Amino acid sequence: MATDILAELALLLVPCWPLLAACLLSLTPTANLRSSAKSFALIGLIISVCLTPFMPGQDGLANGARLLVACVPWLARRGEIGRIGVIVPFLACFCIMLALTAHAVLPIAALLGLAAALLALHEAAGAARARVAWELARIRLAGAILALLGAALTGSSTQPDAARLGDLLLAVGLCLLAGLGPSPQGIPEMGRPAVLDMLLRIGALALMLRLPDRDVTHMVFLLAGLGTLWLAVLARQCGPRLHAALATLCAAQGGAVLPALLFMTGGLAICSGEMTERSARWASSSLPPYPHFTASLLLLSVLLMPHPFVGLAVLAALAIQAARTEMRWPTLLAWRQDAALWLLLALGLSSPLLMLLPWSLAWRPS
């Protein structure tokens, strides 16, 4: 009886607490917006951590991604104190939470598109970076439209050619939502905009991992992930685009859930932390003791056998990234700056134990 009550409570509160926080913030006096948003983000994170294990009909991918999404309002709390700028991240978080809970491709694609539109409105409102934000928003919205068209074709068409076209549009749209491919100049890899952009990346990558292993989606994810990985390595980037590329390669292999979640966690931690470039480069490399070491080994283990040339290309990219690394251990004296590093270090040391847990997907689109 107690378990059933907790399951119903989790199903109500975990996806909907960002919407409740947004409604309360719309009634909060302007002078208290920042402190209230900070309190609501912390309370929501605690609710997600405590009740996510009781969510019915969910698997490790949904629960892990949901915890990452729940961290975003807390990590993005710094910034402007305007009412719209405070409320929109909570609304976008609500859309992604619902997308992670849903079990159908079309509503998930619609929720990702709504989140993309909300974040485009939020980012383009800043005059200082409106042009750069609009370029990024245009790519994300184009991806949302393609994903919606693809999901509609895949779910409603009985013709094989139309279904293959739907798979192609859906795969390309999700790649654009995940930020793969060339990115506009001036897009920050760290800070509040990068943290909010991780919402769309996590939602799109979670759906990528669930798609059936069809020839079209497999080839699109493989080429997009490998191409973006090398673009990031050649541009000396260590931010979320590199992690999204590696997670996409996991999706190309039929859903390697654990390494994809480790890559997403590293991307969110690096773009949200106040760490130096040297620290971020080590944390995002395939060197121990950070979680990318375990994730990279798992990815290469599933890539080298079916696609030896792709696996060798990924190995070469990871080797170049590792060769540029200058090791810097986190210190207790700079605990604010190194908090994300300490969390990644703990996750990296415990990641071998996570391999003992079941990571099978609870549902896949038909």
Best CA proximity match to 91, nearest among 22, 177, 12, 193: 22
pLDDT digits (tens, 9 = 90+) for 33-72: 888 999 999 999 999 999 998 888 888 899 999 999 999 9
Confidence of residue 125 (pLDDT cuts 50, 70, 90): low
Q: Which pLDDT score, from 0 to 100, does residue 3 have?
A: 76
User: Among 263-267, 279-283, 289-293, 302-306, which is the least confidently predicted range?
Assistant: 279-283
Does residue 204 have a pLDDT over 90?
A: yes
- Whether omega before 289 lies within 30 degrees of 0, making that bond cis, reads yes
Whole-model pTM?
Answer: 0.92
Does residue 132 have a pLDDT over 80?
A: no
Burial code (b: 16+ CB inside 10 Å, e: under 16) for 251-287 equals bbbebbbbbbbbbbbbbbbbbbbebeeebbbbbbbbb
Best CA proximity match to 243, nearest among 274, 218, 266, 272: 266
Residue that the structure tokens 């912390």 belong to? 42
Confidence of residue 127 (pLDDT cuts 50, 70, 90): very low
When pLDDT is averaged across residues 245-259 and rounded to a whole number, the result is 88
User: Among 116-130, 185-199, 201-215, which is the least confidently predicted range?
Assistant: 116-130
User: What whole-number percentage of the chain has pLDDT above 90?
Assistant: 33
When pLDDT is averaged across residues 95-112 and rounded to a whole number, the result is 92
